[in-house]
Amino acid sequence: MANMEYVNLGLKLGNMNAVGRYIYILLVVMVILPVDLFGSGVAVAPWFALFLGIMYALFFECPYPKFNKKTSKYLLQASVVGLGFGMNLTESLKSGSEGMLFTVVSVVSVMVVGVLVGYWLHIGRKTSYLISSGTAICGGSAIAAVAPVLKADDRDMAVSLGVVFVLNAVALFIFPPIGAFFDMSAQQFGTWAAIAIHDTSSVVGAGDAYSNLLAAQGVANAGDALKLATLIKLTRALWIIPLALVTMVIFRDRKSSISIPWFIFLFIIAMVLNTYLPMPEWLTSSLVYLARKGLVLTLFLIGAGLSVKMVKSVGFKPFLLAVILWIVIGVSSFLVVMNTID
Contact, 342 vs 100, CB < 8 A? Answer: no
List of residues 6+ apart from 7 with CB closer than 8 A: none
Weakest-pLDDT range from 29-43, 223-237, 309-323: 29-43
pLDDT tens digits, residue range 173-211?
899 999 999 999 999 999 899 889 988 888 988 998 899
Interatomic CA distance for residues 209 and 317, integer angstroms: 32
CA 276, CA 211: separation in Å to the nearest integer? Answer: 25
The structural domains of the chain, with segments of one domain joined by +, span: 64-340
Phi-psi region of 39 (alpha: psi -120 to 50; beta: other; left: phi over 0): left
Overall average pLDDT of the 5-30 stretch: 67
Three-class SS of the chain: CHHHHHHHHHHHHHHHHHHHHHHHHHHHHHHHCCCCCCCCCCCCCHHHHHHHHHHHHHHCCCCCHHHHHHHHHHHHHHHHHHHHHHCCHHHHHHHHHHHHHHHHHHHHHHHHHHHHHHHHCCCCHHHHHHHHHHHHCCCHHHHHHHHHHHCCCHHHHHHHHHHHHHHHHHHHHHHHHHHHHCCCCHHHHHHHHHHHCCCHHHHHHHHHHHHHHHHHCCCCCCCHHHHHHHHHHHHHHCCHHHHHHHHHHHCCCCCCCCCCCCHHHHHHHHHHHHHHCCCCHHHHHHHHHHHHHHHHHHHHHHHHCCCHHHHHHCCHHHHHHHHHHHHHHHHHHHHHHHHHCC
Q: Which of 58-72, 180-194, 299-313 has the highest mean pLDDT?
A: 180-194
Question: Would you state the pLDDT for residue 274?
Answer: 86
Q: Is 223 a residue whose pLDDT tops 80?
A: yes
Tens digits of residue pLDDT in 261-288:
677 788 888 888 988 888 888 888 888 8
**pLDDT at res. 106:** 83
